[in-house]
Amino acid sequence: MYSEIELLQLVERGEDEQTEFKRLVHSPGKIAKSMVAFANTKGGFILIGVDDDKRIIGIESEKEMMEVIRDAATHHISPQISYQQHVVEYRGRDVLLVEVDESPNKPIYHITENPHPKSHKPIREKKVYIRKQSHNISANKDMVTYLKFEKRPIRFSYGENEQTLFRYLNSYHRITLAEFCKLVNISSSRASAILITLVKAGVIQLHHEGRHNYYTLAALSSTN
């Protein structure tokens, strides 16, 4: 259970990689995106009843809000995630604090079902979201691959492909997956495995730029 002081501390630090404010929540599908993003990143807190400008407005029905969260977790998130709901009172107003744990089973998918435009049969769509600063962003193929490999043991050697990559990065500073495939003439899946392994080892760093990713040497990450 969280105290009033702990609630105020979360509100004061504002929205960031691990904190999000929601004035009100109606849609289980929408709030599920935030829960998925936190579970795929470092975990975090969703404060329902707090406006973007940090004003604590409160919620009218804690039971209704908690049911929306349960609906989101049950029908719009796969595999299941660990989360807790806490009601914190502040000056007669209730705030629902949803604490989402970082998942050990990444990637976590956001699930939606929409009717086919012609047949009207439900189409199930799966997307992965991650938390970046104060935003939930859709993860592209490179990031999903990284999440899949994140908890696996690191095993790699500096072979010809890796050495070619390092020479290229020393000269040009950044490279995409497609460029690496072409550079060393290997398949996308093999190239992705090499890059992600080197990211996990801390040798190179993965960067996001819109919907695209690129890689740099880790020593250059602060200047690129």
Residue ranges per domain, the chain? 4-138, 148-220
Higher pLDDT, 154 or 176: 176
- The answer to whether the CB of 17 falls within 8 A of the CB of 134 is yes
Note the CATH number of domain 148-220: 1.10.10.10
Say which range, 4-18, 43-57, 110-124, has the weakest mean pLDDT.
110-124
- Band of residue 196 on the pLDDT scale cut at 50, 70, 90: confident
Burial of 158 from C-beta contacts in 10 A (0-12 / 13-18 / 19+)? exposed
Q: What is the pLDDT of residue 156?
A: 64
pLDDT higher than 50, residue 110: yes
CA distance 53 to 50: 8
CA distance 22 to 120: 33
Sorted by sequence, the CB contacts under 8 Å of residue 64 that are 6+ apart come out as: none
pLDDT higher than 70, residue 152: no
Backbone angles phi, psi at 82, to 5 degrees: -100, 125
Sorted by sequence, the CB contacts under 8 Å of residue 204 that are 6+ apart come out as: 165, 169, 195, 198, 215, 216, 217, 218
Query: DSSP letters along 203-216, please?
Result: SEEEEEETTEEEEE
Higher pLDDT, 117 or 44: 44
pTM equals: 0.74
Return the bridge partners of 115, or none.
122
Q: What is the pLDDT of residue 154?
A: 63
How many other C-beta atoms can be found within 10 angstroms of the C-beta atom of residue 33?
A: 20
pLDDT (tens digit per residue) in 15-69? 999 999 999 999 999 999 999 999 999 999 999 999 999 999 999 999 999 999 9
Closest CA to 72 of 30, 42, 44: 30
CA distance 121 to 142: 31
pLDDT higher than 50, residue 222: no
Q: What is the pLDDT of residue 147?
A: 87
pLDDT, average across residues 203-215: 83
Note the CATH number of domain 4-138: 3.30.950.30
For residue 4, give the 3-state DSSP assignment: helix
pLDDT higher than 60, residue 163: yes
Report how far apart, in Å, the C-alpha atoms of 189 and of each of 56, 126, 215 are.
Answer: 48, 21, 16
Backbone angles phi, psi at 29, to 5 degrees: -65, -40
Average pLDDT value over all residues in the chain: 90
In this prediction, what percent of the chain has a pLDDT beyond 90?
A: 68
